[in-house]
Structure 1
Amino acid sequence: MAITPSAILLDRVFGRDILLISPHDEVTVTLNRSLHAYGDPVAEIYGNPLSKPVRVVLLSERNIIRPVEDSSLALLPVGSSASRPLQVQTVFFVARYAILALLLLSLLIAFLPIPRALSRSACREVAKETSNA
């Protein structure tokens, strides 16, 4: 099924591969940094990883944590359901059904016959309004 170019463009421009974490407070992060040994998971210093890395749409990178221990890693702290980022797979899911809905609507409009009585009465009303004005 076709996916809209706007969804692809949104992914290309604003899509980021990040690891979602449930963040620790600053004291815990400081303690974890002091206890961190080479080879230990870096994400666990800053919080509990919620999943594997996911692709999300981010308009701003100000909330992303780039750990000093591994600068290639991008962590995004999420606390409540209101702060969850928009996942790219959701954008593609919505785009797929939006295209289908628009296609069905355009076919319905194109092939739906307009009743002649309705079109005549509408023309008469418009003519009356313009003549009265």
Structure 2
Amino acid sequence: MNELRTTFRAKSLITGKYIKGAYFDGYILQGSMIEANEEYCVVEQWTPVEKDTLGVFTCTYDKNNVPIFEGHNVEVYIYDSVKQGKVIYNEWNSPLIIDEDGKRLRGLSAKKDILVRVIDKD
């Protein structure tokens, strides 16, 4: 069996908590692919999610090795201060961090960003 890649996070309509997994048509798919052919696929778990909470994995980890997803609330270390922001994608499909007014704080570094810490608990 093949393990599904965790590339999205969204809020479950069942539990109200954020979950991670593959995304398909309003569902987060978790676990392993049990069976698949040209007509259908069977996955361990399909969970309906709130589409407006869907966020893609940015391929970056924070200073504590927590994966950073679009929509995450983070702390950003800039010079001698710590600011809070939210991870979004811009029009060039690049992840960046904005403040509460929508002003760009900074982009994300590749792989691991030691100047960012995810503050969401999900």
TM-score band by shorter chain is: under 0.3
Structure having the higher strand fraction is 2
TM-score by length of 2: 0.23
Higher relative contact order, chain-length normalized (CA < 8 Å, sep 6+): 1
Larger radius of gyration: 1
Structure having the higher helix fraction is 1
